[in-house]
Amino acid sequence: MVKIERAQLEHFEDIYKLLLSFKYTRNTKNDWKNLFKDHFQSEKNYYGYILKDGKRIVGFINYLFAKRKFNGKVVTFCNIGSWIVLEKYRNKSLSLLVPLLRLKDCIFTNFTASKTVYKILKTLRFKEVDDDFIIIPPIPGISFLEIFKSDTRILFGGRVKKYLNEDELIIYNDHSNPEFKCKHILLKDSMGTCYIIAKRAYRNKVPFLHIHYVSNSKIFSEHAGILRVICPFYFKVFSIIVDKRFLGSEKINNVITYNLQSHRLCKSNLSYPVDNLEKIDHLYSEFIILDI
């Protein structure tokens, strides 16, 4: 008989055998194991659900919980990912989503939905968020000269900390686990600061700097000329990629716009309307824990 139960660390070895069938992944066993830790103080004691046929695990979905401040309130987030079910049991796949829909007061996200998952989540009333992204190639323009202005600075790693506000410092601490390999960047000028969190990521075997969080889209856009030259050199990547929605209405010149093959979706079942959900970043998601 096929049934579902909560995924715990003790199931990891069996689940890992399933996860190995994901193609094109650069994740190590330890990366996958990181999905089975409560990194973000969620106080949940499980990591998704497994589908079992007798004692054999035949399916898994990861629920990555986090408590984070969003629009000024602390909210539970649940990022859904790594959904895998053996072909023979695909008629039971949806049962892994049943507990998710019963969770109260939660914001759900999925940033890597395949066509199938996209259709399922859309039918379950998830909303699409803009999944265009832009490549900012290292073309030095005149704006690069801003680096020589005395009031414009770019800082990396732990040096950014002293310029972060209280909320940003929480984000920094939550994303500074060395196993996540996050890159912390700060742009500072006379108008203020822009805190950026990014990771090295490979697209078609080419290394990029994938930006997952931008605290100030205006400062980011204004100083894109600095980022596009300094970051590829500093992080040894070909170029920068960033989801277009992180920039709001700001524009950057000389970029290439792409549409993703995977989709980004989200849904809130909070008791109050949530503003700016369509601009949700990738913090506290599988993008941070895994090598995606």
Exposure of 104 in the CB half-sphere (CA atoms within 13 A): 1
**Nearer CB in complex with other proteins: 84/194:** 84
Q: What is the DSSP letter of 126?
A: P
> Which CB, 90 or 203, lies closer to other proteins?
90
Which of 105, 132 has the CB closer to other proteins? 105
**Near other proteins by CB under 8 A: residue from 58, 120, 224, 231:** 120
Q: Which stretch binds other proteins (CB under 8 A): 113-121, 138-146, 247-255, 279-287?
A: 113-121
State in angstroms the smallest separation of the CB of 53 from other proteins: 13
Smallest separation (angstroms) from other proteins to the CB of 28: 29
Tell me the β-bridge partners of 107. Answer: 77, 268
Between residues 83 and 111, which has the closer beta carbon with respect to other proteins?
83
Answer for the pair 212, 160: CB distance below 8 angstroms, yes or no.
no
Burial class (CB in 10 A: 0-12, 13-18, 19+), 72: exposed
Q: Does 102 bind other proteins (CB under 8 A)?
A: yes
Nearer to other proteins, 27 or 112 (CB): 112
Quick one: 103 or 147, whose CB is closer to other proteins? 103
Taking CB under 8 A as the binding criterion, the range among 43-51, 119-127, 139-147, 179-187 that sits at the site for other proteins is: 119-127
CA nearest neighbour of 210 among 225, 196, 195, 224: 196
Neighbours of 62 (CB within 10 A): 24
d(CA 179, CA 187) in angstroms, rounded, equals: 24
What span, in angstroms and rounded, lies between the C-alpha atoms of 170 and 25?
Answer: 30
Give the CA distances from residue 274 to residues 121, 170, 260, 280, 292, in Å, rounded to whole numbers and listed in that order: 19, 21, 25, 11, 28
Place of tokens 């972060």: 164
Gap between the Cα atoms of 239 and 74, Å rounded: 34
Report the residue number, 36 or 126, with the smaller CB distance to other proteins.
126
CB of residue 95 to other proteins, shortest distance in Å:
8
Q: Which is nearer to other proteins, 85 or 289 (CB)?
A: 85
CA distance 212 to 196: 8
Region of 65-73, 121-129, 200-208, 217-225 interacting with other proteins (CB under 8 A): 121-129
Rounded CA separation 8/45 (Å):
8
Q: Binding to other proteins (CB under 8 A): which residues in 62-101?
A: 90-95, 97-98, 101
- Site mask for other proteins (CB under 8 A), range 243-282, x = bound: ----------------------------------------
Residues in contact with other proteins, total (CB under 8 A)?
Answer: 16
Residue 29 lies near other proteins (rule: CB under 8 A):
no
As a whole number of angstroms, the distance between CA 59 and CA 84 comes to: 6
Distance (Å, whole) CA 186 – CA 250: 18
Interaction with other proteins in 123-162: which residues (CB under 8 A)? 123-125
Alpha helices in 64-140 (DSSP H): 98-102, 115-123
* Shortest reach from residue 51's CB to other proteins, in Å: 12
**Least distance from other proteins to the Cβ atom of residue 99, Å:** 10
Give the binding site for other proteins (CB under 8 A). 90-95, 97-98, 101-102, 116, 119-120, 123-125
